[in-house]
């Protein structure tokens, strides 16, 4: 059964790989891509999304720009990780086309309401501003969306502070809105994504494909490795956002645990922290779960097969 998804992203090296995984997997039907200011400005990440579509030879898929800044706080990008362009380390091909005029929030609402109930899945891999605004503008999407599978947060670690992950930290108010709606929500956080490391063996497999897209991904991983070594003390870079898509491709690639989740808005040391309540058992009405363990081999097999399929 194919899964219809809207990819809400801020490319970003790992967002780009998430797009490639989604487009290169037959079981995933990407209805549209929406963008949000995050890793870089809205303008840059929108252009980046369209350039990635060119790499994937998909010039029909539409890209809808959304919110340029968080609901409450000042915008904060991540040039130390993703560079000035948001996708440093590769030569960006010409965008596959112009962005759409329709706003991402309107597109999300329209698409969810036009499709049969329980058929559209939202996959946010950036700050949650677009999703939060869509919920406030049209609350009926909550019971109509099939599920939300997001990359963000972490129950035991942060990367933008000791306790908070970037996507949540830059717009915690939006995250708070999204986490507190009663839709099925899977948090694919740092606890999981730090297991998705692009090791030299993985790079070898990608090199063996020998395609343009493979070369593009290798360029992305090379830059990402350097920034992760310099800034985060990692030997190999974790491709966070692709994990959310991988879970949808085949949920057995990830183990999950059902736990209540919330987002801290006020702590002096904990703003943007995702708080998971692991005390057993989760209440009957709990609709949230966290990703816990990744099958590394299976994950990278999916990604390499997708790269081989798109070009
Ligand atoms: C931000 C990101 C990645 C690494 C750092 N250090 C900061 C971006 C990625 O695109 C991903 O969606 C999420 N935010 C991981 O925090
Ligand atoms: Ca991202």
SS (H, E, C) the chain: CCEEEEEEECCCHHHHHHHHHHHCCCCEEEEEEEECCCCCCHHHHHHHHHHHHHHCCCCCCCEEECCCCCCCCCCCCCHHHHCCCCCCCCCCCCCCCCCCCCCHHHHHHHHHHHCCCCCEEEEECCCCHHHHHHHHHCCCHHHHCCEEEEECCCCCCCCCCCCCCHHHHHCHHHHHHHHCCCCCEEEECHHHHCCCECCHHHHHHHHHHCCHHHHHHHHHHHHHHHHHHHHHCCCCCECHHHHHHHHHHCHHHEEEEECCEEECCCCCCCCCCEEECCCCCCCCCCCEEEEEEECHHHHHHHHHHHHHHHC
Test site for ligand 1: of 167, 175, 236, most ligand atoms within 8 A of the Cβ: 167
**What is the per-residue pLDDT for 257?**
97
More confident residue, 280 or 13: 13
pLDDT at 1 (0 to 100): 82
Indicate if the pLDDT at residue 94 is higher than 90.
yes
pLDDT digits (tens, 9 = 90+) for 225-259: 999 999 999 999 999 999 999 999 999 999 999 99
pLDDT above 90: residue 204: yes
> Which residues form the catalytic set?
240
pLDDT tens digits, one per residue of 34-60 = 999 999 999 999 999 999 999 999 989
Percentage of the chain lying above the pLDDT 90 cut: 99
Q: What is the pLDDT of residues 100-132, one digit of tens each?
A: 999 999 999 999 999 999 999 999 999 999 999
| Ligand 1 atom closest to 125 (CA) | 12
Smallest CA separation from ligand 1 atom 7, residue: 166
- Determine the structural domain holding residue 25 and report its residue range: 3-310
CATH number at residue 306: 3.90.245.10
pLDDT digits (tens, 9 = 90+) for 279-289: 989 999 999 99
Closest ligand 1 atom to residue 240 Cα is 11
Closest ligand 1 atom to residue 126 Cα is 12
Q: What gap in Å lies between CA 213 and CA 275, rounded to an integer?
A: 38
With tokens 């790992």, the residue in question is 14
| CB-based pocket (< 6 A), ligand 1 | 12, 14-15, 39, 78, 81, 125-126, 151, 159, 165-167, 232, 240-241
- What pLDDT sits at residue 135? 98
For the chain, give the percent of residues with pLDDT over 70: 100
Tell me what the mean pLDDT of segment 88-94 comes to.
Answer: 97
In this structure, which residue's CA is closest to atom 2 in ligand 1? 166
- CA–centroid distance, 157 to ligand 1, in Å, is 13
Q: Is the dihedral of CA 54, 56, 59, 60 positive or negative?
A: negative
- For position 280, what pLDDT does the model report? 85
Tell me how many domains the chain contains: 1
Tell me the CA–centroid distance for residue 192 and ligand 1, in Å.
13
Q: What is the pLDDT of residue 240?
A: 98
Give 39 Cα–ligand 2 centroid separation in angstroms: 7
Atom of ligand 1 nearest to the CA of 165: 16
Q: What is the pLDDT of residue 311?
A: 83
18 has a pLDDT exceeding 90: yes
Distance 273 CA to ligand 2 centre (A): 17
113 alpha carbon to ligand 1 midpoint, in Å? 30
What local confidence, expressed as pLDDT, does residue 150 receive?
99
> Does pLDDT of 134 surpass 90?
yes
Given a cut of 90, whether residue 277 has pLDDT beyond it is yes
């Amino acid at each position: 059964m194919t899964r219809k998804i809207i990819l809400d992203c801020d490319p970003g090296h790992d967002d780009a790989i998430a797009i490639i995984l989604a487009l290169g997997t037959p079981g995933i039907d990407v209805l549209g891509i929406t963008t949000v200011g995050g890793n870089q400005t809205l303008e840059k990440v929108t252009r980046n999304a369209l350039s990635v579509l060119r790499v994937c030879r998909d010039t029909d898929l539409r890209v809808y720009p959304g919110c340029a800044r968080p609901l409450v706080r000042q915008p904060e990008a991540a040039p130390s990780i993703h560079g000035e362009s948001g996708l440093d380390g590769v030569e960006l091909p010409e965008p596959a086309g112009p962005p759409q005029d329709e706003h991402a929030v309107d597109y999300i609402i329209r698409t969810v309401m036009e499709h049969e109930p329980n058929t559209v899945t939202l996959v946010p891999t950036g700050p949650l501003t677009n999703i939060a605004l869509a919920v406030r503008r049209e609350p009926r999407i909550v019971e109509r969306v099939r599920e939300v599978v997001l990359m963000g947060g972490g129950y035991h670690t942060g990367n933008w502070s000791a306790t908070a992950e970037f996507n949540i930290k830059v717009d915690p108010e939006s995250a708070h809105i999204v986490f507190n709606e009663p839709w099925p929500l899977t948090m694919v956080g740092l606890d999981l994504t730090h297991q998705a490391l692009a090791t030299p063996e993985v790079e070898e497999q990608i090199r063996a494909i020998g395609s343009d897209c493979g070369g593009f991904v290798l360029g992305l991983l090379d830059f990402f490795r350097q920034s992760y070594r310099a800034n985060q003390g990692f030997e190999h870079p974790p491709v966070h956002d692709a994990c959310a898509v991988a879970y949808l491709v085949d949920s057995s690639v990830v183990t999950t645990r059902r736990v209540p989740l919330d987002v801290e808005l006020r702590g002096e040391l904990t703003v943007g922290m995702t708080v998971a309540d692991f005390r057993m058992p989760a209440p009957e009405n709990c609709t949230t779960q966290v990703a816990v363990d990744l099958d590394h081999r299976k994950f990278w097999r999916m990604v390499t097969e997708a790269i081989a399929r798109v070009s």
